[in-house]
């Protein structure tokens, strides 16, 4: 009986040790381009791209499964309807579940699904006077990417994320924004 209990305790300790060895916190920063899928009908000019930034904090619960939170800024595509000029903006944060698939010693593929809290904003100016309006919404987000592991604790990260951004209440003034980014990720 004592040998069985000792064996069970050693096996449980081994499982806990392997679970804690695979559990890792990580942080990352990325820069890239956000492509806004918005309707520019009626605009004199309308840009659909902006420089995007994001910071990520995550935790790998197991080698395959994790959770991560991301703060993002999806850039400022510009627009004009003569004589008014302005830009679109979207910032926010998301929380996602992550599935990791390590395909070699150096490469990990991942996919993520979550929910984003987004503040969409429209700024405009006319002859030195400016105005803005914003709208907060909660939207689904989806993403996938790859990590090239330079060392066991440092990697280069490539992401593609998609979120819906609402710039006003109702069905008007919304579209999807796809963010393609590259960055670095460190784990500890």
Give the whole-angstrom CA distance, residue 72 versus residue 53.
Answer: 6
Give the whole-angstrom CA distance, residue 4 versus residue 20.
Answer: 24
Q: Do residues 74 and 34 lie in contact, with contact meaning Cβ atoms separated by under 8 Å?
A: yes
Give the whole-angstrom CA distance, residue 46 versus residue 150.
Answer: 40
Pairing assessment for the beta strands 45-46 and 65-73 based on DSSP bridges: unpaired
Condensed to tens digits (0 to 9), the pLDDT of residues 5-30 reads 444 444 433 433 344 444 599 999 99
Q: Do residues 90 and 118 lie in contact, with contact meaning Cβ atoms separated by under 8 Å?
A: yes
Give the whole-angstrom CA distance, residue 150 versus residue 131.
Answer: 47
The token duo for 149 is 């592991």
Q: Do residues 162 and 176 lie in contact, with contact meaning Cβ atoms separated by under 8 Å?
A: yes
Percent share of the chain, pLDDT over 90: 70
The reply to whether omega before 83 is within 30° of 0 (cis) is yes
State the sign of the Cα–Cα–Cα–Cα dihedral 86, 142, 112, 144: negative
Instruction: Write the CATH number of the domain with boundaries 23-187.
Output: 2.40.160.20
Closest CA to 167 of 129, 118, 127: 118
**40 — pLDDT class (breaks 50, 70, 90):** confident
The token duo for 83 is 């004589």
pTM comes to 0.81
Give the whole-angstrom CA distance, residue 65 versus residue 112.
Answer: 10
Return the CA Rg of the chain: 22
Tokens 């700024």, residue located: 123
The DSSP string of 92-125 is EEEEEEEEEEE-SSSEEEEEEEEEEEEEEEEEEE
User: Domain extents for the chain?
Assistant: 23-187
pLDDT of 173 > 80? The answer is no
Quote the pLDDT of residue 175: 85
- Average pLDDT value over all residues in the chain: 87
């Amino acid at each position: 009986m004592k040998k069985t209990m000792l064996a069970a305790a050693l096996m449980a300790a081994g499982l806990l040790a392997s679970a804690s060895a695979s559990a890792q916190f990580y942080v990352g920063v990325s820069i890239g381009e956000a492509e806004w899928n918005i309707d520019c009908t009626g605009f004199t000019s309308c840009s659909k791209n902006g420089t995007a930034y994001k910071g990520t904090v995550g935790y790998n619960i197991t080698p395959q499964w994790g959770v991560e939170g991301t703060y993002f800024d999806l850039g400022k595509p510009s627009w004009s309807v003569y004589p008014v000029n302005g830009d679109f903006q979207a910032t926010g944060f998301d929380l996602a579940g992550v599935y990791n698939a390590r395909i070699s010693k150096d490469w990990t593929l991942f996919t993520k699904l979550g929910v984003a809290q987004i503040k969409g904003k429209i700024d405009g100016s006319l002859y030195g006077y400016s105005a803005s309006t914003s709208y907060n919404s909660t939207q689904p987000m989806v993403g996938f990417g790859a990590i090239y592991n330079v060392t066991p604790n440092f990697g280069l990260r490539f992401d593609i994320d998609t979120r819906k951004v609402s710039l006003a209440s109702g069905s008007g003034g919304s579209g999807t924004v796809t963010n393609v980014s590259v960055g670095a990720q460190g784990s500890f």
